[in-house]
Each structure stands twice: as C-alpha cells, then as structure tokens.
Structure 1
C-alpha cells in the first residue's frame, strides 16, 4: 500500500477562511507540515493547538526558490516513504493547485516513489483578488509568476495578476519586465494579504514605484488592469500583423490593396540594401528603422498569401523556429560544437537532412540552390565555395595568385584591340579569380569591395571639400593637385 501525502490549502486569510474539511483533517492528523509559517492561518491554528513543522529554514539555506521547492518536495517524499503507516498532511497557502510549485513537483515524482498525493482544496488568493480588486476574469485574465515573468508573457488586453512578489528584488524584476510594455507612470495596484483583517493593504501606484514600497511578502501580488489602448501593444508582433492586415483590407489603404508579389518585389531588394547600409555605417538608430522596413516586406508578402489561404506569417515563424532548433543540435540537442567551424558543419549537415526528410527533389548539380538573382560578386563566391566543397579548388593561395596574373595578362591583351565582348569576358574572368583570393584569405568579397567603396567616397569628398575651401572647381584643378589631395586624404584617420 502506498504512502500518502495529503496537500491542503490554507486559503487566503486566517482560520475563518479554512474549509471545514481541511480543519477536520488538520485536527486529526499527527504529521503536519507547512511550506511556511508566514501565513495568517498558521498562527490562528497554533492557538487551537494545531501546529506544523515548517520549511522556513530551507528558504534561508538555499540560493534560489527552485532549490527551495526541490528540497521541500524531496523531503516530503522521503518522510512519506520512511513511515508509510503515518500519512502526512502538507499545508500550503491558498489553493494547492494555484501557483504552488512544490505541489507540482510532488505530483510529478510521487508515482515513481510509491507515494500517493491527495489534494484538498482551499480558498485561492484568486477568489479574494477578484472580489477585492473588482474585475471579472471572464473578460480575459492571466496569472503570472513573478519569478519567471518576461515581456513575452504580458498581454495588455488581459487583466493580469502577478503573484509571489516576495521581496524588493523580485518587485524590481517585475517592474523592469512591465516597463518593456507599459509606460513608467502606468497605474498599477499592489495588494498585500487581501481579505485578511488588519493586514490587508491595497495600494494604487505608478509603475516606477513598484520596488520602492516598505513591505513585501508571500501574500503580495501586483494587478495590472486590462486595457484596449493599442499603444500598449506597439512592441508586439501580433499588433504589426493586425496593422498590415488592416492596410490590405477593403477598408484599408488603396495603394497597399493593389500590390502584388511582383509589384513590390523591388522594394524588398531596396529595403534590404538600405538595411545593409545602416549596418555598414554602424548606425543603430537607422538600423532600427531599416530592419523594420525589411520586416514590413515580409509581412506584406505573407499577408498576400494569407488572403489566398496558403499560409500566414505565423506559419513563417513556425517554420523558422523549427528550422533553427533542428539545425542547431549542438544547442537544442545532445551534440556539442567546439567552435564556429564545427557549428557551421552541423548546420549544413542538418540542412541537408531537413531537405531529405521533406522529400525535396534531389539536386542535379552541386551548384543548384544558389539564387539566380543574387548579385554577381556574392554569387561568384558561393559558386566557388560549392565547387571547393567537393575538392575542385586550388591547392593553395599561390595557385590563386598565378590564376589572377594569368587573367590579368589576358585582359591586357584583349584591351589592346580585341572586341568589347572579349574585353568584357576577360574582365569577368579576372574578377572571378580575385573572388577566389577573397575566399582563400577568409574575406567576404562583397564586404571588402563595400569597404573600399566607402573609403574611396570618403577620400574623394575630402578632395571636394579642400577645393571648396580654396574656392576652386575641378575644371580649375589639374590631376597633380588632385593626386596630392588624395594622398592627404589617405594619411587621415582611416574609416
């Protein structure tokens, strides 16, 4: 016969809030434990001669709450197994199934330890919160744990209760998470010991004062009322999706409604290049704007497909989430990657496995899969990288330099009198050989040329500025003077 642990709820206040069944069980029990003595009912019951062994010392000896809950659960299970003929009663604040981590651990582990866990409910602090704070949960409600709160949990359109705000440090963490969504002065309510005569305290304060109160404890909670103000949702992806769907709706913007994949295809390319320019300029403010413009293109194209019933942008997110997890077994699985190179090999291997599982048509060439509209420089880099992957490559950099010299000589020859087409062909061969050099030295050719473009533009602008200062124009300046100014520009601090 298994040992038993009966978990009872002490309710949200003193002994007068206990159910009759809980009170009778406590009176009859010989092995009583309470998670904490810091509860009004524990003191009231002590005056009746009903006392508990508590786990308050565990809170003082452990570094975090998860360790505390682990030790409490393990201790109770051990005690139950050691003396199966003496059932244990374990008392927790409120209701055993509301925000009670120790009970969750007991229920998960008890079957493997031949221990039966029984539950005897009590009044939850939620009952008192609904009454004292005056909101109906059917309007939309969420209960969150202060210890695990993040911005992703917050939904301004729902009434939000945050429990277990034990101390000033927890209150500070809650404040910072709320400030990711709500203004600093947003009105909130802090409730302490709701429904407990003489101890109840309800404070309405601005958010920034949340961690400046003089008292916190096991019975402290934070309430944020539901709001229909869409400004509170400006950080949410759902709001962005909603806005784009409105723009494309019959009541939306005529221009947005008329667009197709093809009509705004070029916008995607332009916005991407503008985002790259912001990155190259190391301009965070502009990055923030340009990344948004790129994201808008994704939303618009996805919205068009949502209207056709093929997929939504949330399907795009799901596909991306699955892909990132699958292709990173060294992060989300049991494998390890010692360095970035090994992580990249993992990525490529899982990418190939992913396509195999999806039944993708087998490629006829190793070079298949490189976007045909990719600009020529990065496309050349990817073509060479693919070929090198199967051993079609120069053995060392010396061979690459030899090829560059060969192609340069052929270009010089063609420039001496060959047709324009032949000259263009030889120029392309030279550029292709130079891209090979970039791959060997580990430099992305697009980034290298972009840097040189910026360097040239900076130095040329220096020449323009110096001529303007001198009151001169290019027509009034010879090449020698411009070269001198160019050398001056080179001697200045590099980009």
Structure 2
C-alpha cells in the first residue's frame, strides 16, 4: 500500500461528543484535512494547535454536490499518495451522509491505499436524544437533495438531513406537501446538542422555509403518524385495503368475485372515465379513475391469492416496458418529434417479440388488435395496420367510391328483400368503408360518432324542454313540430 487514509467523525458539534480515540488520532496525525471549516469543532482544533486544511474551496468550484464529492475523493487519494498517512475529519459519523467516504470505500483498494474508518457521534444520536423519539418505532433518514414524495412513509419517523439553507427547505416543503397537509406540524433542529447554539422549532409545514438559521447543522423531523388521512394517500394502504376486502374477514361480496364476474365492471368503469374526459370534469375524473384503479387492484389481488403475481409485478412489468420502449428518453436514441417517438416505440415492440422468441415469419400484420374492442374502434385499428404494408386506397376519392358502392349494395339488398343476415352484412360493409374515410382525414371514428351522439342528445333534450314548456307530451305533437324545434336547437 502506498498510503493510508483514516476517516474520523467530529461528532455533531459539542467537544464532549468527540470520542477519545478520534481525539488521539487527530493529535497524532501529521496531515489533517477536514471536509469543512464550518463546524463547531474547528475552534477546538485551532486552540489545541492542530493544523488542518479544508475542502471548502471545492464547494465553490462545482455546481452540484455529486461533483463536489467526486473532487474531494480525487484529492484525498492524491494527498494520501503524496503524504503517506493522512487523517480526513468529517462532521458527525463518517458513515452517515458522507458520499466521499462511500466513494473512498470503492476506490482505495484499486489505488493501493489503505482505508480505515473510525467512529464518531452522528447527528442522528443527538436527534434521537434531543427530539425524543425511538427509531425502533420505524425510522428513515433522507437527504434533502433530490428527495421524492414516493420515498415518504407517514408511519415512520422521518429525518431529513443536509438542509443547508432556506432554498433547500423550500424544496423539501413542496415535496412533503404532496403527502402531508399544509398545517401538519414538523420540527426543525439547528445544531442539536451544541451548547448555546441548539434551536428546536416546531412549525406548520407551510412555514418550513420561513424558519431562520438553516445551515450545515440543520435537519427536519417529521414525526411518525398512524393518521388514516395520511395513510390513505399511499399506494401501500390501497393494496392493504383490497387485501382485507378479499380476506376471510372481509366483504362477502368481494370474496365471491372472480375475473369473469367483474369483467364487465372494468369495461363500464373505463367508459365512465372517458365520459369525464369528454365533460372536462377533473373532480369527477379523479373519482372515476379511482374506480378504474380498483378494478386493476381486484384482478391483481385475485392472482396474488393464487401466488401467480401481485400488483407489484404488474407495476414492475409496466415500468420495464416503458423504459424499454422509450430509448429516446432512457437510452441512447433520439426523437425530434412525435412521429419519430412512435417509430421508436414500434421498433422496440418488435424487438420485445424477438426477445420473447416469437416467430415473426408466422405472425400476422393484424396481430395485436384486441378481440373485444368496440367494432368501430377495431375496424379503425385493423385498417391502420393493413395500410402500413400498402393495402390501402391511393387517395380519398377511392374511399368515396367505395362508400357509394357499399351504400348502393345495401339499398339493393333491402329493396330486394334479401335475408336479414345479408342486409346486416351489407350494412357492416358500408360502416367499414366509412371508417376508411375517417382514417384518411385523420379522425378517430369512435370519437367522431361520440361527438355526434352528444350533439343529438343535446338537441333532443331541447325538444323535450319545448314540450314541457308548451305543456305537451310526445303523443300530443307531430314530426313537423319536432323538426322545427330540432332546427331551432341547431341554431343555439
């Protein structure tokens, strides 16, 4: 080995917290480097004549903490190679919130440098003592940098460290507000355990970034809670509830259901969501999306009971599919517009089939269209697939001619009194030809017909309203009068 780095912890700020072993190492060291001079222990080192250099200047040279810690690691390896044995002193405990130490653990061996990590009292020790909670009740430590709401678990005590300034506190506040109510009480701790500097401030969440005094020794504590209001905002709680409903102690109706018995529910809930989209009603959409999600949870729970898969397997499969099919986002490909993105998507779908061992030589161009789609929607999709391989009209005029041809064949079948099934067949041919027209003008036929349906309902409601105003029923009017009201409705 060409050198040795000894990493020691300086504790959370009070000289009495520094271990005797660490103090002896500092006194005996020939070369001491500290991560930052902004720590209460620095005054004691100066008083005792212990010389040191710091890495504070590196923070000013880089734009992000990962870059800072990489630079610190590089310099430590270089210093150890030049000076032999060095001591690297960090705030708190070397293994708590010290990214450079983790990088040293990964790189010292290959660099031929021995690494020794000594202890030190962490800021967590003071958090447990001064804030008065026991981590055995459930605890998580999070870094304020890059914190995400998906990490939050209200049933755990949560300590958020490295809250250096009010801007960082503001970012933390916004993330916490995705789960916790604005007035939820949180605790800010400054310099915990440091005599004369410690501050413990309890504030509602919305005031978190208005607290003064944030710095290197600041943290935020969110006490654990069993409040159902918080738990009900988590996916884990949803999974738990559905499991209870299907359990022997749960709901008799839910226990009796099978995939087939609630199959229609999934279809109905899907259409109810579509209705909220058409109505542009976000609050109603929120409710209906929940109802549709319940169907997914129930089907997944049924398979979980059979040990086939769980809803987490469903989520994993979806996540992996999204990552794989978006190489222009998560890979090394690019897409300048939606058409290029769609092309990438289709290419990756084909690659998925290849990886699954599916024989493309026997596959149909029309594969992948769900069997039970509504007929109008299915016609649109199979026509699009056929068109991709050149089986299509050259232009819209050809489509018009086909519509006219199918319309004449329908009229002829009806006029000649052909069997009903033949008339139905001719009607289907006509509808199929009309779908081609929708495709050529880049319109979804399902959506187009939905618009017309809504238009018809609105105008028919107007007729009913006029009947009520005039004290009439449908039996007391005629087609001529209704047509007049219909024309009035078109002008509204």
TM over 0.5: yes
Are 1:329 and 1:346, in contact at CA under 8 Å, matched by a contact in 2? yes
The 1:80/1:384 distance shift into structure 2, 3 A limit, reads same
Quick check: 1:421 aligned with 2:416? no
Change in CA separation of 1:334 and 1:117 when aligned onto 2, cut-off 3 Å: farther
Native 8 Å contact 2:159 2:220 kept in 1: yes
**Segment of structure 1 superposing worse, 172-181 or 141-150:** 172-181
- Displacement after TM superposition at 1:479 (Å): 3.9
User: In the alignment, what sits opposite 1:372?
Assistant: 371
**Which region of structure 1 is more displaced relative to structure 2, 168-177 or 40-49?**
168-177
For residues 78 and 438 of structure 1, the distance between their equivalents in structure 2, rounded to whole angstroms, comes to: 69
Cα deviation, 1:427-456, whole Å, max 9, x if unaligned, reads: 110110111122222221111111121122
Higher mean C-alpha deviation, range 220-229 or range 236-245: 220-229
Task: Tell me if 1:298 matches 2:292.
Answer: no
Aligned to 2:201: 203
CA contact 1:164–1:220 (8 Å) conserved in 2: yes
Q: Match of 2:36?
A: 36
Provide Cα deviations, 1:436-484, integer angstroms capped at 9, x if missing partner: 1222222211111111211222222233334434445444544444444
SS in 1 for 2:37: coil
Q: 1:114 to 1:330 in 2, by over 3 A?
A: farther
Q: Which residue of structure 2 aligns with residue 391 of structure 1?
A: 390
- After superposition, give the CA deviation of every residue in 1:35-60 in whole Å (9 maximum; x if it has no partner): 22221111221111224323334445
Deviates more, 1:336-345 or 1:401-410: 336-345
Separation in 1, partners of 2:100, 2:417: 84
Of 305, 322, 325 in structure 2, the residue corresponding to residue 324 of structure 1 is: 322
Write out aligned runs for 1:190-339 (5 A). Answer: 190-339=188-337
Q: Distance in 1 between matches of 2:171 and 2:475?
A: 65
Aligned residue in 1 for 2:119: 121
Check 1:393–1:290 CA distance in 2 against 1; reply closer, same or farther (3 A cut): same
Distance in 2 (CA, whole Å) between partners of 1:476 and 1:77 is 97
3-state SS of paired residue (1:148): coil
Counterparts of 1:79 and 1:104, CA distance in 2:
17
Alignment map for 1:481-492 (pairs within 5 Å): 481-492=481-492
Distance in 2 separating the partners of 1:367 and 1:61: 58
Q: Which runs of structure 2 are paired with 1:145-184 in the superposition (5 Å)?
A: 145-184=143-182
Indicate conservation of the 8 Å contact 1:7/1:90, yes or no: yes
Distance 1:111 1:388, change over 3 A: farther
TM-score by length of 1: 0.91
Comparing 293-302 with 59-68, greater Cα deviation is found at: 59-68
Cα deviation, residue 299, structure 1 = 0.9
Matched, 1:444 2:444: yes
Query: Are positions 1:15 and 2:15 aligned together?
Result: yes
Q: Do the aligned partners of residues 402 and 4 (structure 1) sit closer, same or farther apart at CA in structure 2, a change above 3 Å counting?
A: farther
**Is 1:405 the counterpart of 2:415 in the alignment?**
no
Give the conservation status (yes or no) of the 8 Å contact 1:42–1:51.
no
Note the C-alpha offset of 1:259.
0.9
**Alpha-carbon spacing, 1:399–1:124, altered in 2? closer, same or farther (3 Å):** same
The structural deviation recorded for 1:93 is 0.6
Describe the shift of the 1:78–1:267 C-alpha distance in structure 2 as closer, same or farther (beyond 3 A). same
SS of 1:130's equivalent in the other structure is: helix
1:144 CA displacement: 0.5
The counterpart of 1:103, out of the listed 79, 101, 104, is 101
Superposed CA deviations along residues 157-202 of structure 1, whole A, max 9, x for unmatched, are: 2221111111112112222222222232323322221221111222
Match of 1:356 in 2: 354
Q: CA deviation at 1:229?
A: 2.9
**In 1, Cα distance between the equivalents of 2:80 and 2:396?**
72
The Cα offsets for residues 207-249 of structure 1, whole Å up to 9 and x where unpaired, read as: 3332221211111111222223333211211111110111111
User: What is the rounded CA distance, in whole Å, between the counterparts of 2:416 and 2:176 in structure 1?
Assistant: 72
Contact 2:2-2:84 within 8 A present in 1 as well: no
Q: 1:458–1:117: structure 2 CA closer, same or farther, 3 Å change rule? A: farther
What displacement does 1:344 show?
1.8
Q: Deviations 1:42-81 (Å, cap 9, x if unpaired)? A: 1221111224323334445544434443443444445555
Q: CA deviation at 1:94?
A: 0.6
RMSD value over aligned CA atoms?
Answer: 2.4
Q: Structure 2: which 5+ residue stretches go unaligned? A: none
State how far apart, in whole Å, the 1-side matches of 2:286 and 2:469 are. Answer: 36
More displaced stretch, 212-221 vs 472-481: 472-481
What is the rounded CA distance, in whole Å, between the counterparts of 1:287 and 1:92 in structure 2?
A: 52
3-state SS in 1 of match to 2:8 = strand
Distance 1:58 1:251, change over 3 A: same
Cα separation, partners in 2 of 1:117 and 1:483, compared to 1, 3 Å: farther
**Distance between the aligned counterparts of 1:236 and 1:229, measured in 2?**
12
Compute the displacement of 1:378 (Å). 0.9
Deviation digits for residues 396-447 of structure 1 (CA, Å, limit 9, x no counterpart)? 2222222112112212222323323222211110110111122222221111
Instruction: Provide the C-alpha distance between the structure 2 equivalents of 1:223 and 1:22, rounded to a whole number of angstroms.
Output: 28
Normalising by structure 2, we get a TM-score of: 0.92
Task: Answer whether contact 1:145 1:164 (CA < 8 A) is retained.
Answer: yes
Unaligned runs of 5+ in 1: none
1:232 match: secondary structure = helix
Partner of 1:142: 140
